Amino acid sequence: MTASGTFGYGIEFADLVNLSDIGGIIVKGTTLHPREGNDYPRMAETASGMLNCVGLQNKGVDYFCKNIYPKIKDIDTNMIVNVSGSSIEDYALCAARINELERIPAIELNISCPNVKQGGMAFGVTSKGARAVVEAVRKAYDKTLIVKLSPNVTDIAEIALAVEDAGADAVSLINTLMGMAIDINRRCPKLSINTGGLSGPAVKPVALRMVWQVAKAVKIPVVGLGGISTTEDAIEFLMAGASAVQIGTANFIDPAVSVKIAQGISRWLDQHKYKSVQEIIGAV
Amino acid sequence: MLYVFLGRFHTLFYMKYNKILTVKEVEWLNQSHVLIKLTDSMPLPEVMPGQFVQVKVENSPRTFLRRPISINFYDRQSNELWLLVQLKGDGTRAMAQLLPGDKLEVLFPLGNGFSQEVTPGEKVLLVGGGVGVAPLLLYGKYVQEKGGIPLFLLGARTQADLLELDLFRQYGQVYVTTEDGSAGEKGFVTQHSVLQRAGFSRISVCGPKPMMVAVAKYANAVNIPCEVSLENLMACGLGACLCCVEKTVRGNVCVCTEGPVFNINQLTWELD
């Protein structure tokens, strides 16, 4: 699958990759009301990764349903909407709107965006907050509910257990790690809101460790992401216990990387005489 | 029906490709600028002046993202695509080390270019500063081919920093400013006397932001249409990451897909 915020609505990449070859496309974070996002500059390149502080720029769920959904509903893959909000009511109302869309089989609940002052990550860093959002959304949404977890916590497994107990069908992790970069000549942060979320290969070992911890703790499926850019990276996540993986920042460097990795996993399984990917999930 | 047809045509026209091109030549223009000429065994896709490419840089471990580079020139007959690159960091320095026959992975053509409507006989002032002159070469050729008269006003720090002057002269009159007066008129492009003399109908600018703002202020004051080419930091180049946004009258929009060329009346720059 492609990770939210790294693959637009899929259509931006239609010239470059056969979208139906991707297992799922998780579209950009959608909120109840339109959001302008944060000021420029919103990104900084770092060693083997990047920081971003986009701040959930999107035109709101009404615009999505009216103008974007008709354009993406016939893409032959799982089109999943990432839902974010700044209050429990907003999350539930937004999820309820997406629930009406026939061709959207699942949502990914973003309780882990580090770049929005109110809400977002605030819900995802305590078990109580995470549980409250998921319980409210569960009542408003009856299809597959994936909850995206924040790595900016002391014990991610504890949050995952709370989310599972509140009715999540799956968890995905990790969202970006909060970080910072400074322009030493100007003596100021490189990002407009000072801090941002780190992604890319730099975060992969952290993400892998967290996927391993969460997969041991919960019974629901775990979707692994964080710095995956090669077939071998993806297989590591599967062996750590992920049932599926998302490709994020790597899409910026190779727009077709997700398909290459999906094909690479199949090839690797054949070469190593595995009959099914199930045989390697959680194999460590 | 017509709308549907035009819509489809537009999409086909701007089809994006991720191609592995071949380096034909790398020409050092001065100590900090190289001209990389690329080609392919297949005909290169048509590009419009002002569009850009995203280059995947190899052999540079500290370069993570692709590098957005504007298209300097494209020629269908020789099947060449030129990139004029300023050596600024590890990524661009690695690009300068390319040799003829080397491969370069290039995602293109990206963005919307300069205005394509040219009235025969109209004078268009193309203002470039530093490496910002790059996209004006192809645009000057385009304006000339459409029957317009391109006037180039090119600024640099010193004579040694002026780029591709002879190539620009193929398509129109070239006016020069340097900050130290070593070539052309001394000062900034906005101080050049051609601004008082030549009656041009519109201006297209590419260069450092302070220069573009200064030209935009001038255009605003004398009420001449003006478009600028922005180079905001970007990651994907495809409108997905939403990092390269510019504030416009329509809110934050991606420079990579809505730009990089904007009419100044779309921006929120303070011009008064």
What does the pLDDT look like over A13-23, one tens digit per residue? 999 999 999 99
Residue B185 corresponds to which tokens in the numbers above?
A: 């008129």
**In a domain? residue A138:** yes
Q: Is B66 on the interface with A (CB under 8 A)?
A: yes
Structural domains in chain B, sorted by start: 13-110 (2.40.30.10), 114-228 (3.40.50.80), 230-272 (2.10.240.10)
Quote the pLDDT of residue B159: 96
**In a domain? residue A155:** yes
From the list B107, B246, B252, the residue facing A57 with the nearest CB is B252
Is the pLDDT assigned to residue A112 strictly greater than 90? no
Catalytic annotation present for A113: yes
Q: Which residues of chain B have pLDDT under 70?
A: 1-13
Domain that holds residue A117: 11-279
Residue (of A105, A103, A102, A115) closest to A31 by Cα position = A115
Q: Is the pTM of this model over 0.90?
A: yes
Provide the chain A residues 30-59 that lie in CB contact (below 8 A) with chain B: 36-37, 39-50, 52, 54, 57
Quote the pLDDT of residue A115: 72
Tally of structural domains, chain A: 1
**In a domain? residue A284:** no
The single residue of A53, A65, A94, A113 carrying the catalytic annotation is: A113
User: What is the DSSP code (8-state) at residue B132?
Assistant: G
**In a domain? residue A5:** no
**In a domain? residue A3:** no
Quote the pLDDT of residue B12: 46
* Chain B residue at shortest CA distance from A36: B252
Is the pLDDT assigned to residue A237 strictly greater than 50? yes
Mean pLDDT, residues A199-208: 98
Mean pLDDT, residues A118-126: 75
- What is the ipTM metric for this complex? 0.94
Q: Is B16 on the interface with A (CB under 8 A)?
A: yes
Chain A residue numbers touching B233 (CB-CB < 8 A): 40-44
**In a domain? residue A4:** no
Q: Integer distance in angstroms from the first to the last C-alpha of chain A?
A: 23
**In a domain? residue A236:** yes
B148-173 pLDDT per residue, tens: 999 999 999 999 999 999 999 999 99
A68-106 pLDDT per residue, tens: 999 999 999 999 999 999 899 999 999 999 999 999 999
Q: Is A184 on the interface with B (CB under 8 A)?
A: no
Q: What is the mean pLDDT of chain A?
A: 96
Quote the pLDDT of residue A120: 63
CB atoms within 10 A of CB A158: 16
Contact A40 B247 (CB under 8 A): yes
Residue A74 belongs to domain with CATH number? 3.20.20.70
Contact B239 A8 (CB under 8 A): yes
Chain B residue numbers touching A12 (CB-CB < 8 A): 238-240, 257
Q: What is the 3-state secondary structure (H, E, C) of chain A?
A: CECCCCCCCCHHHCCCCCHHHCCEEEEEEECCCCECCCCCCCEEEECCEEEECCCCCECHHHHHHHHHHHHHCCCCCEEEEEECCCCHHHHHHHHHHHHCCCCCCEEEEECCCCCCCCCCHHHHCCHHHHHHHHHHHHHHCCCEEEEECCCCCCCHHHHHHHHHHCCCCEEEECCCEEEECEECCCCEECCCCCEEEEECHHHHHHHHHHHHHHHHHCCCCEEECCCCCCHHHHHHHHHCCCCEECECCHHHHCCCHHHHHHHHHHHHHHHCCCCCHHHCCCCC
**In a domain? residue A130:** yes
Quote the pLDDT of residue A113: 75
Quote the pLDDT of residue B10: 46
